[in-house]
């Protein structure tokens, strides 16, 4: 095992102009959870190393010690800006292990797609707001959080909580959409084009914003593949890889949408791809909305994973026992291993899950898109100014709950 | 929530990965021996599996070999391509690693992204990747002992197995001179003295 010395602030090379600078974890653009060690020559970054792990909470270890359905609650907390994506990926993987993928009701899949896209919109709102603030544009933040608040309201109405609704369940979703939900959704669909026009109007043609982002942090397609970059960052480099198109799940192949791509691969291209993606997401939401008028079941009736309906519990002894068993003991999942991936707002989010036949997952390994996207910073930062690092981190959109897990 | 301090090694299935063939997902699965790992991965990379999606590990405590290191590969062009030109394919390569001194060759020279992934596996499982340029802990603090994702590592960490009642909460400890909370030093000393006298007289 060869060990090289990690960059530490104590090491200052006096040869030439280079010195080591620690950026973060207190630096505002690193949001308190990332430390960058920079070897700089004047204002130019020569070498960069990142210290992560500030938010490491052992979620994978915790998940091994919880029931299959309980593990979902900690897994939602990995990518706290897009909890529904995490939950969706986990339940889809579990359903494959259980062999009940074909039993999920149509309406449940539609609701899953709906929240998969709404959570992408909400997540991109936070990215855009904070990215703009890092660069110096403050107004955008309020517009973004206005839109996000509308989406969180919908999440709260359906799942009961704003941030971590735990609405996806193995076998379907937790309860049908409440009364009045579709009206709120209609209102959001109606006002969305204006909100989007405002957001674009504030930044897209803004000369200061363009100066800060065009030709900054260029990531060529070849490099992006070498660094395993996925999601909007990969598509801004020209490769139109989207899990929703490549390996469709939840009936994504029934909806019409495009995969926005750019070829420049700089921070401005990543910005444009994400904005286009928000519009595509809303296009999918509008298509789902049309199908949601038809009522139907939202949970599989398979007694192996689904508790019996509440009204039967008071009438049937068997239903009561069954309900008690599922709540107190969980259900067992046949042994095997499975990898399932979804397109999260940050890229390919995958779960590699091993079951030993028990009522708890044996191993839950996450493929965190943020970790790999952030790692690419080591490839694109050298040769750039320190001030542009802030733009580069923002344009890669890492979420540290997921990087550190 | 039932709190389990014992790691859940419940199932009789010691190697769940061998039980479901063909695989449940859209990936092709291969198992290679550590000796042929580099050779096979290089070959696959040349066949167009140019993206290393993920590198992870799993611990099967009772199995020989004990660990599995899992490489998820994706077929991907190295140049800009529209949706219609893509024909992505997934491949999973599993490699068993011995438990007594877990060693594997690094793949950081094939895929740059393997760098942090291998550091994470080293950090959380203690598997050493020979030839890695900078193999040190990534998630846990630098001076941490042990590898948390191993199955024989307790959930709350070593030496935190039980949370006993603090000594001052037990009446019997007053005799030993442990101060109950909320008392002055004099009162405490007095109490200790009385307890000591009481013990000697009885």
B123 lies in the same domain as B178: no
Going by C-alpha positions, the residue among A307, A221, A204, A310 that lies closest to residue A261 is: A221
Which residues on neighbouring strands pair with residue A150, listed in sequence order? none
Report the Cα A33 to chain-centroid distance in Å: 18
* CATH number for the domain that contains residue A323: 1.10.645.10
Residue B179, pLDDT above cutoff 70: no
B173 lies in the same domain as B116: no
Q: Does A277 touch chain B (CB under 8 A)?
A: no
The answer to whether position B187 is within a domain reads: yes
DSSP state, A46? E
Taken in order A344, A368, B49, A229, the sign of the CA dihedral is positive
Confidence of residue B188 (pLDDT cuts 50, 70, 90): low
Chain A hits for B58, CB-CB cut-off 8 Å, are 354, 362-363, 365
Confidence of residue B43 (pLDDT cuts 50, 70, 90): very high
Residues B110-133: tens digit of each pLDDT = 999 999 999 999 999 999 999 988
Domain count, chain B: 2
Taken in order A264, A266, A268, A272, the sign of the CA dihedral is positive
Confidence of residue B201 (pLDDT cuts 50, 70, 90): low
Chain A hits for B83, CB-CB cut-off 8 Å, are 240, 242, 245, 259
pLDDT of residue A1: 34
pLDDT of residue A6: 57
The answer to whether position B50 is within a domain reads: yes
Domain count, chain A: 1
B28 lies in the same domain as B125: yes
Q: Does A358 touch chain B (CB under 8 A)?
A: yes
* CATH number for the domain that contains residue B105: 3.30.460.80
SS3 B29: strand
Here the ipTM equals: 0.86
pLDDT of residue B191: 64
Return the structure tokens found at B174: 């007053």
The answer to whether position B67 is within a domain reads: yes
Of the candidate ranges B35-49, B129-143, B155-169, the one whose mean pLDDT is the lowest: B155-169
pLDDT of residue A52: 87
Q: Does B54 touch chain A (CB under 8 A)?
A: yes
The answer to whether position A216 is within a domain reads: yes
The answer to whether position A32 is within a domain reads: no
Chain B hits for A221, CB-CB cut-off 8 Å, are 78-80
Of the candidate ranges A217-221, B27-31, B134-138, B153-157, the one whose mean pLDDT is the lowest: B153-157
pLDDT, mean of residues B138-145: 84
The answer to whether position B183 is within a domain reads: yes
CB contact under 8 A, B56 and A405: no
The answer to whether position B73 is within a domain reads: yes
Confidence of residue B6 (pLDDT cuts 50, 70, 90): very low
The stretches in chain A having pLDDT less than 50 are: 1-4, 10
The answer to whether position B153 is within a domain reads: no
Neighbours of B24 (CB within 10 A): 20
What mean pLDDT is reported for chain B? Answer: 77
B178 lies in the same domain as B117: no
Pick the more confident residue, B22 or A264: A264
pLDDT of residue B187: 60
B125 lies in the same domain as B171: no
pLDDT of residue B150: 85
Residues 6 or more apart in contact with residue B89 via CB below 8 angstroms: B28, B49, B74, B75
The answer to whether position B98 is within a domain reads: yes
CB contact under 8 A, B78 and A70: no
Q: Structural domain of residue A378, as residue ranges?
A: 59-404
Residue of B nearest to A364 (CA): B58
Q: Does A360 touch chain B (CB under 8 A)?
A: yes
B171 lies in the same domain as B125: no
The answer to whether position A115 is within a domain reads: yes
B101 lies in the same domain as B188: no
Taken in order A167, A164, A63, B139, the sign of the CA dihedral is positive
Which residues on neighbouring strands pair with residue B137, listed in sequence order? none
Catalogue the long-range contacts made by A137-146 (C-beta closer than 8 Å, 24 or more residues apart): A137/A202, A137/A203, A137/A206, A137/A208, A137/A209, A139/A202, A140/A199, A140/A202, A140/A203, A143/A195, A143/A198, A143/A199, A143/A202, A144/A199, A146/A195
SS3 A351: strand
Cα separation, A11 vs A124, in Å, equals 39
The answer to whether position A43 is within a domain reads: no
pLDDT of residue B164: 55
Contact A85, A349 (CB under 8 A): yes
SS3 B161: coil
Cα separation, B49 vs B76, in Å, equals 6
In terms of Cβ atoms closer than 10 Å to its own Cβ (0-12, 13-18, 19+), residue A304 is: middle
Q: Structural domain of residue B197, as residue ranges?
A: 167-201
Cα separation, B60 vs B150, in Å, equals 9
H/E stretch holding B200: helix B185-201
The answer to whether position A122 is within a domain reads: yes
- Boundary of a domain, candidates B79, B108, B130: B130
3-state helix, strand, coil in chain A (%, to 5): 50, 15, 35
Which residues on neighbouring strands pair with residue B37, listed in sequence order? none
pLDDT of residue A189: 92
Pick the more confident residue, B14 or B108: B108
- Boundary of a domain, candidates B81, B110, B130: B130
Contact A211, A358 (CB under 8 A): no
The answer to whether position A54 is within a domain reads: no
The answer to whether position B15 is within a domain reads: no
Q: Does A102 touch chain B (CB under 8 A)?
A: no
Residues A349-384: tens digit of each pLDDT = 999 999 888 888 888 999 999 999 999 988 888 888
B27 lies in the same domain as B94: yes
Cα separation, B27 vs B89, in Å, equals 7
B123 lies in the same domain as B184: no
């Amino acid at each position: 095992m060869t060990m090289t010395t990690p960059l530490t602030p104590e090491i200052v090379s006096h040869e030439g102009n280079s010195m080591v600078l620690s950026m973060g974890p207190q630096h505002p653009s690193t949001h308190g959870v990332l430390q960058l060690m920079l070897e700089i020559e004047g204002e130019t970054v020569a070498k960069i190393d990142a210290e992560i792990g500030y938010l490491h909470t052992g979620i994978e270890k915790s998940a091994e010690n919880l029931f299959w359905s309980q593990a979902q609650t900690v897994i939602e907390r990995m990518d706290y800006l897009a909890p529904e994506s995490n939950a969706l990926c986990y339940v889809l993987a579990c359903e494959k292990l259980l062999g009940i993928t074909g039993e999920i009701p149509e309406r449940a899949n539609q609701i899953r797609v709906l929240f998969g896209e709404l959570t992408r919109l909400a997540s991109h709102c936070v990215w855009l707001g904070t990215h703009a603030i890092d660069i110096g544009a403050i107004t955008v933040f309020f517009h973004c959080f206005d839109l996000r608040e509308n989406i969180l309201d919908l999440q709260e109405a359906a799942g009961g909580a704003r941030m971590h609704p735990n609405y996806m369940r193995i076998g379907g979703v937790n309860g049908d959409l409440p009364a009045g939900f579709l009206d709120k959704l209609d209102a959001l669909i109606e006002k969305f084009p204006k909100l989007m026009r405002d957001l674009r109007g504030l930044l897209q043609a803004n000369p200061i914003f363009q100066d800060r982002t065009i030709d900054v942090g260029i990531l060529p397609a070849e490099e992006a593949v070498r660094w395993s970059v996925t999601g909007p960052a990969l598509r801004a480099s020209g490769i139109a890889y989207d899990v929703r198109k490549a390996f469709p799940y939840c009936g994504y192949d029934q909806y019409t949408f495009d995969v926005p791509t750019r070829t420049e691969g700089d921070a401005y291209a990543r910005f444009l791809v994400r904005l286009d993606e928000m519009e595509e997401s809303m296009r999918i939401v509008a298509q789902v909305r049309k199908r949601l008028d038809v009522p139907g079941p939202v949970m599989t009736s398979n007694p192996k994973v689904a508790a019996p309906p509440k009204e039967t519990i008071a009438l049937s002894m068997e239903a009561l026992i069954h309900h008690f068993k599922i709540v107190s003991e969980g259900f067992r999942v046949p042994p095997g291993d499975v990898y399932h991936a979804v397109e999260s707002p940050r890229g390919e989010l995958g779960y590699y899950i091993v079951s030993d036949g028990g009522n708890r997952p044996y191993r839950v390994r996450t493929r965190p898109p943020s970790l790999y996207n952030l790692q690419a910073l080591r490839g694109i930062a050298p040769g750039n100014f320190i001030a542009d690092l802030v733009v580069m981190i923002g344009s890669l959109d890492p979420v540290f709950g997921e990087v550190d897990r | 929530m039932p709190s389990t301090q014992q790691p859940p090694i419940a199932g009789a299935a010691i190697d769940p990965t061998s039980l479901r063939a063909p695989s449940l997902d859209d990936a092709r699965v291969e198992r290679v021996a550590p000796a042929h790992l580099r050779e096979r991965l290089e070959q696959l990379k040349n066949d167009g599996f140019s993206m290393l999606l993920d590198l992870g590990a799993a611990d099967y405590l009772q199995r020989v070999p004990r660990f599995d290191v899992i490489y998820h590969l994706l077929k991907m062009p190295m140049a800009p391509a529209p949706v219609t030109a893509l024909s992505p394919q997934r491949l999973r390569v599993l490699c068993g690693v011995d438990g007594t001194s877990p060693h594997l060759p690094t793949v950081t020279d094939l895929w740059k992204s393997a760098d942090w992934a291998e550091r994470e596996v080293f950090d959380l499982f203690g598997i050493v990747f020979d030839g890695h340029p900078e193999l040190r802990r990534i998630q846990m603090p630098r001076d941490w002992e042990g590898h948390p994702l191993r199955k024989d590592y307790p959930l709350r960490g070593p030496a935190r197995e039980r949370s006993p009642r603090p000594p001052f909460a037990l009446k019997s400890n007053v005799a030993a001179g442990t101060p109950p909370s909320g008392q002055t030093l004099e009162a405490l000393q007095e109490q200790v003295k009385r307890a000591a006298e009481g013990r000697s007289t009885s």
